[in-house]
């Protein structure tokens, strides 16, 4: 093969891999292969209104249906885990304002280069593996932080209980406000049964929030229906490329920017009976994080890099205490 100078902005190999998204942070979704589950370690969790399940993945249920989310080992070739959703109570008549969905909110810093909301908005491609006990046309959507711009999309599941890979390519939104800060940049949803107040026409940007597309399968209406997903990737460009596999350590570190548990820290109390621990967290911004103490201590102060704990003055002075903390700075 001769060598020479290539004057090109985009190179695409014969197997469809392009230079546009190969280097760096190709997959803008974190834990797309569903292998990190710090909170539940494989146990099923019942969805509420914004329940975090597997790391970075959030479940919403405002309907009369009940569903669980669980990390399982059922996965297509090339993956070890998937997220399984099971409808444990069906809602045969989902109201117009009710919703059931599974989503990830991507931090604005991680999609800033997409330039959404400008004339230079980049095209993106969402790809994922999915299987369900139901067949038909399912829906999802992209939406912004203010929930006033959205792009509903559909995908078809043709065979029940069979892993299928789906691809959705979307020309970036040239309108609206899309955060490029540490807030919510882009949210990607998979609709499990949502009323008409929050669904819209598939395949077009609209100046309103939506969770899914009109007239799609409502998984939440069928008792014991299941829906699995893994290998979820959102990348720049109009082609779905191979999944961006990361080693476990890097995947965990990505997740720990937003959530960490079992963090054991200790310090010696002051003469007034509280103790201040230096931050040793990966979490995004400790001063903005929700902190849960396993030792039932009370957070008395939270600085940029420290947490001060006490217990209503009941701690002994000049004594060593430690505590196990959970830090959550989810979007």
Nearer to another protein, 22 or 326 (CB): 326
Number of residues in contact with another protein under rule CB under 8 A? 27
Is residue 171 within 8 A of residue 102, CB to CB? The reply is no
Closest by alpha carbon to 104, among 204, 230, 215? Answer: 230
Is residue 83 within 8 A of residue 69, CB to CB? The reply is yes
HSE-up (13 A, CA, CB side) for residue 60: 20
Residue 146 sits in the site that holds another protein (CB under 8 A): no
Residue 301 sits in the site that holds another protein (CB under 8 A): yes
Nearer to another protein, 57 or 155 (CB): 57
Residue 51 sits in the site that holds another protein (CB under 8 A): no
CA dihedral 190, 195, 200, 203 (to 10 degrees): 30
Is residue 178 within 8 A of residue 184, CB to CB? The reply is no
Residue 46 sits in the site that holds another protein (CB under 8 A): no
Question: Which element (helix H / strand E) includes 85?
Answer: strand 82-89
**Nearest distance in Å: CB 244, another protein:** 26
**Nearest distance in Å: CB 292, another protein:** 4
Residue 316 sits in the site that holds another protein (CB under 8 A): no
Residue 330 sits in the site that holds another protein (CB under 8 A): yes
The torsion angles phi and psi of 220, rounded to 5 degrees, stand at: -65, -10
**Nearest distance in Å: CB 307, another protein:** 9
* Binding characters for another protein, 253-292, by CB under 8 A (x = yes): ---------------------x----------x-xxxxxx
**Nearest distance in Å: CB 171, another protein:** 29
Is residue 255 within 8 A of residue 38, CB to CB? The reply is yes
Nearer to another protein, 157 or 307 (CB): 307
Q: For residues 291 and 144, what is the distance between their CA atoms, to the nearest angstrom?
A: 27
Nearer to another protein, 194 or 283 (CB): 283
**Nearest distance in Å: CB 298, another protein:** 7
**Nearest distance in Å: CB 288, another protein:** 4
Nearer to another protein, 156 or 298 (CB): 298
Residues 223-252 that bind another protein (CB under 8 A): none
Nearer to another protein, 44 or 299 (CB): 299
Please, which residues have CB within 8 angstroms of residue 227's CB and are 6 or more apart in sequence? 84, 85, 130, 131, 132, 133, 134, 190, 192, 219
The residues facing 323 across adjacent strands are 265
Q: For residues 240 and 9, what is the distance between their CA atoms, to the nearest angstrom?
A: 18
Residue 182 sits in the site that holds another protein (CB under 8 A): yes
| Binding footprint of another protein on the chain (CB under 8 A) | 50, 182-183, 274, 285, 287-293, 296, 298-303, 308, 310, 312, 326, 328-331
């Amino acid at each position: 093969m001769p060598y020479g100078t290539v004057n090109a902005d985009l190179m695409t190999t014969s197997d469809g891999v392009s230079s546009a998204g190969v280097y760096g942070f190709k997959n803008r979704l974190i834990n797309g292969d569903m292998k990190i589950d710090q909170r539940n370690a494989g146990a099923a969790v019942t969805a509420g209104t914004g329940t975090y399940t597997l790391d970075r993945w959030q479940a919403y249920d405002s309907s009369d249906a009940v569903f669980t989310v669980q990390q399982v080992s059922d996965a297509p070739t090339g993956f070890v885990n998937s997220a399984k959703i099971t409808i444990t109570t069906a809602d045969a008549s989902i109201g117009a304002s009710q919703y059931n969905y599974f989503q990830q909110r991507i931090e604005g810093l991680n999609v800033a280069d997409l330039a959404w909301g400008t004339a230079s908005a980049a095209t993106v491609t969402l790809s994922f593996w999915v299987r369900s006990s139901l067949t038909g046309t399912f829906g999802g959507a992209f939406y912004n932080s203010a929930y006033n711009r959205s792009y509903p999309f559909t995908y078809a599941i043709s065979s029940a209980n069979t892993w299928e890979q789906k691809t959705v390519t979307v020309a970036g939104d040239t309108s609206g406000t899309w955060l490029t800060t540490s807030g919510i940049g882009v949210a990607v949803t998979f609709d499990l049964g949502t009323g008409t107040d929050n669904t819209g026409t598939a395949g077009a940007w609209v100046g309103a929030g939506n969770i899914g597309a009109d007239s799609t399968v409502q998984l939440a209406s069928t008792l014991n229906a299941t829906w699995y997903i893994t290998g979820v990737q959102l990348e720049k460009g109009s082609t779905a490329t191979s999944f961006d596999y990361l080693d476990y350590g890097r995947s965990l570190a990505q997740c720990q920017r937003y959530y960490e548990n079992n963090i054991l820290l200790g310090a010696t109390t002051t003469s007034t009976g509280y103790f201040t621990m230096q931050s040793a967290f990966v979490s995004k911004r400790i001063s903005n994080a929700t902190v849960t103490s396993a030792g039932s201590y009370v957070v008395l102060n939270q600085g940029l890099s420290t947490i001060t704990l006490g217990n209503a003055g009941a701690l002994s002075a000049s004594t060593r205490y430690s505590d196990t903390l959970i830090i959550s700075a989810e979007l």
